[in-house]
Amino acid sequence: MSAHPADSHDVIRVEGARENNLRDVALTLPKRRLTVFTGVSGSGKSSLVFGTIAAESQRMINETYSAFVQGFMPSVNRPDVDVLEGLTPAIVVGQEQMAANARSTVGTVTDALTMLRTLFSRAGEPYVGPPTAFSFNVPTRRASGVMTTEKADGRVSKDVVRDVVYLGGMCPQCEGRGTVSDLDLSVILDETRSLADGAILVPGYTADGWMVAAFKAVVPPDVPIRDLTPAQRDELLHAEPRKVKVDKVNVTFEGLLPKIRKSMFAKDPDSLQPHVRTFVERAATVGECPECGGTRLNEAARSAQVHGRTLPEVCALQISDAAAWVRALDLPALAPLLDALRDLLDSFVEIGLGYLSLDRPSGSLSGGEAQRVRMIRHLGSALTDVTYVFDEPTVGLHPHDIDRMNTLLLRLRDKGNTVLVVEHKPETILIADHVVDLGPRAGVHGGEIRFEGSVDELRGADTLTGRHLGHRARLKSADAVRASSSVIEVRGARRHNLQAVDVDVPLGVLCVVTGVAGSGKSSLVHGSIASREGTVVVDQSPIRGSRRSNPATYSGVLEPVRKAFAKANGVKPALFSANSEGACTTCNGNGMVEVELGFMETVSTLCEECGGRRFQASVLQLTLGGLSIADVLDLPVADALAFFSSGEAAVPAAATILRRLDDVGLGYLRLGQPLTSLSGGERQRLKLAVRMGEPGGVLVLDEPTTGLHLADVDHLLALLDRLVDDGRSVIVVEHHQAVMAHADWIIDLGPGAGHDGGRVVFEGTPADLVARAHTLTGRHLAAYVGG
């Protein structure tokens, strides 16, 4: 029987891909296979997989909708590529953290809560109402008056309704948030002082300053706050805006609390100056709602029970326990609903998230947890012949959990799907049917296909990935292990699932805190160590910034550079900012001019006035050491470090910052490269470089190997050694065995996740952990160092 022509389309063909740093990349990818893309951070993996293949697939699907519908969808520009053939619909499962919406929980984003609301509305005793009666996003409303209904032929019927109730489950006091916020007056006011003596402790409100002058005109300035009359105190704190005279000038007077709420507390904390942000964090208090106990639901919704449990009780259960509760229900009339709910909760357990609870705020999930939550939607999907694209699905996973993730990836492939994975972990690279290695290095030195083939062929390939695939870090010898100078005593830690943990965290050494996902590592470190004075924390929170932001602005190196340019040329520093007076007037310092064409793609073209250099021509004539400000922003970090370290262009403050960027392996990065074009690993290292410069003897790092190639991990370990040798204490939350093997001290939590974890199961040197090998971490580390 001859082959059918439809069966011949079994590859995805890419030719001439030039997105970001890709150099006319051409490759052929097999369909219905698992392909892993490797290469150092910044080599072009994401540009090829997400920026080219997935982006074009999603753009072409969007074009099948009407122009009206496309107007409501995100605009995706056509990637810079010559040929893309054989594409299938792409489903991208990325690492982005979920939006920190106060009303968003694990239950709402996965539809588990929708099913539970239906279950309680049908089977709950006593009967409360329809599913909306159990929704914390819907308030209970009452209405009276005339209800008008339009009918055919222009007829209108009017009905008088009295006290009609629309049931919702929202707690009226906290409005379904579960928490109530307030301001801590002790941080805002010193009750023992008068206004003249500086009673107002808010930044900028000096006793003799203009901000306090209006308060002095209304409230006695020489009376201590505690001695004011109730009326005077109310005026000071809560007065409505009105005009008052201060030194014969009319000014607006408003109570202190509403005034600072508008000027400070209503703004994004990241937009505030550091000292103001510190004040806001100290003064804002958030507590559990006393009315609903943090459950978000009103009294009626909290009263209904199914099989002895209320809805808030089920949502507070560990998901593995909630799954067992659902399996015990015997309700034939709701069998389809229970089957769907049971499968959904079992998927959480299968993917390694059984330790979460459905009432957990979605914004509190790590990037790896958020990615796995998104994966749950696809595990039971009936779709086949689609392309699933994953961005480091093993992020945040213990070696024990990576095996389960690999099984899920293979399941998706075996259903007839094409699976594309950007990954650094050798455990996932080894299960690939096809490997694409990009390089040879990062940034302008990358963007090429260095290898394409099987895993066995990769082992013998002369590429960074091939050489490091079998690389194993060695355990430190006994004489190389550093001794601690002192300890941080943690006693009775009970945050989240911690079970009254007592542990001494050594200082002056490299200490690694490890354990399976959900064992309590972050709860221990962030709850008992990170908040201590003198501690600098580098967590997994994403870098914020627009396409106007770049490494020069984010790291702060541009500030001393602008001042040096201004001093050398006798002009204002603002001229050397593309966001201020020196910006090109045609493109407003953007370098590109965007033309919106209604429902069609927005067209971006290089600014003809500045040629993409972002500055006015008169500014580009002003130089420092022979370079203009645009030339400086085009320099790689390593070249900029040499430029600002000596000679007439020496700027010590800039050189100090640039040296830290170079230390974390970002020497290839251009200073003016938009932050939006950086890979996940590059952003993590950029943040590390910035936070390293902050004063503090203890440095806490949360999974610093995220996004790092096998070769980059050695660079990171050398950096950690330098930090410890320079007198800092480094505490790392990490799963990577190379970091564990290199540690001076390991604290292992477990033995499992959720309520099965939260205990210290080992503390000691890596050599002792391998010798005993009685924990999951010990067994995996022993296998790793044993080769």
* Structure confidence at residue 2 (pLDDT): 66
3-state secondary structure of 584: coil
pTM value is 0.81
Q: Are 50 and 79 in contact (CB under 8 A)?
A: no
* Structure confidence at residue 91 (pLDDT): 93
* Structure confidence at residue 63 (pLDDT): 87
3-state secondary structure of 197: helix
The angle subtended at Cα 168 by Cα 166 and Cα 171, nearest 5°, is 135
CA 420 to chain centroid: 22
Q: Phi and psi dihedrals of 652, rounded to 5? A: -55, -40
* Structure confidence at residue 82 (pLDDT): 95
In terms of residues, how long is the chain? 787
Cα separation of 293 and 311, whole Å? 13
Distances (CA, A) of 753 to 355, 512, 524: 6, 18, 14
Q: Are 69 and 41 in contact (CB under 8 A)?
A: no
Bridge partner list, 745: 511
How is residue 425 annotated by DSSP?
-
* Structure confidence at residue 787 (pLDDT): 55
* Structure confidence at residue 268 (pLDDT): 61
Which of 722, 640, 639, 637 lies closest to 678 in space, CA to CA?
637
Query: For 230-266, what is each residue's pLDDT tens digit?
Result: 998 998 888 888 888 888 788 888 888 888 888 887 6
Cα separation of 296 and 302, whole Å? 9
Which of 383, 372, 377 lies closest to 415 in space, CA to CA?
383
Which of 185, 183, 282, 172 lies closest to 233 in space, CA to CA?
185
Task: Enumerate residues 6+ apart whose C-beta is below 8 A from 361.
Answer: 100, 102, 104, 105
* Structure confidence at residue 598 (pLDDT): 56
Q: Are 402 and 425 in contact (CB under 8 A)?
A: yes
Distances (CA, A) of 681 to 36, 424, 451, 688, 705: 17, 11, 21, 11, 8
Q: Are 551 and 674 in contact (CB under 8 A)?
A: no
* Structure confidence at residue 321 (pLDDT): 95
Q: Which residue type occupies 67?
A: A
Asked if the bond preceding 361 is cis, omega within 30° of 0, the reply is no
Virtual CA dihedral for 343, 349, 350, 352, nearest 10 degrees?
Answer: 150
Cα separation of 591 and 624, whole Å? 22
Helix (H) or strand (E) holding 713: helix 710-725
* Structure confidence at residue 266 (pLDDT): 66
Query: For 748-780, what is each residue's pLDDT tens digit?
Result: 998 988 888 999 999 999 999 999 888 999 999
Which of 644, 398, 339 lies closest to 518 in space, CA to CA?
398
Which of 760, 114, 153 lies closest to 500 in space, CA to CA?
760
List the chain residues with pLDDT less than 50. Answer: none
Q: Are 688 and 538 in contact (CB under 8 A)?
A: yes
* Structure confidence at residue 99 (pLDDT): 62
Q: Phi and psi dihedrals of 640, rounded to 5? A: -65, -35
* Structure confidence at residue 4 (pLDDT): 84
